[in-house]
Amino acid sequence: MSTKVKVATAFFVFAFTAWFYCTPYLTVREMKAAIDAKDAAKVASYVNFPAVRESVQASVQAMAERERGKTADALVDLGVAIVGMVVDQLVTPEGLAKVMRGEGSEAINDLARDLGVAAALTKSSWSGADVSMGYEGLGQFVVTMKVKGTMEEPIGFVFSRDGLFSWKLSALRLPM
């Protein structure tokens, strides 16, 4: 093989690897641009709603189990059921659009605020937050957001590969 072919092949491999590595960062940037533009349909295209709904339900269930250990109150089970119904309404393309427009029901808006999702869907929240991003394996990328100057735990937005080059939000890591 000639030197030119070797150099061209090496350059192609390097460029492809760099682009492949940057794909989740590009997805997050495009998703943030859609949030800033209040384009709920575009934001929804980056979300795997069934997977996110399942992760939020699991987090709520874990919180309920912790509360159940502190008290044997039947209201905990009722609260979990109600929150489950609200999560089912919130974690849909329509629910996402309503939260982004501030038009959700009071329960949906309250839950979105409590989970930190509403803040992540507004333009100003990114400037008032410590945001970090990184891989947690070849198929998982996590963005964490924490409000600056607070002791609150960060919220994690977990993206998973959707095919070879695209990524979708697949889970939320909620503060416990």
Four-residue CA torsion sign, 54, 29, 148, 138: positive
pLDDT in tens, 49-93: 999 888 888 887 777 777 666 665 666 666 667 777 777 777 778
pLDDT at residue 108 above 60? no
d(CA 173, CA 142): 9
Residue entry with tokens 């987090």: 59
Mean pLDDT, to the nearest integer, of 149-171? 86
Determine contact, residues 135/141, Cβ cutoff 8 Å: yes
For the chain, the domains span: 3-125
Residue 1 has pLDDT above 70, yes or no: yes
For the chain, percent of residues with pLDDT exceeding 90 = 26
Say what the pTM is. 0.77
Please say if the pLDDT value at position 124 is more than 60.
no
pLDDT band at 174 (very low <50, low <70, confident <90, very high): confident
Is 52:169 a contact under the CB 8 Å cutoff?
Answer: yes
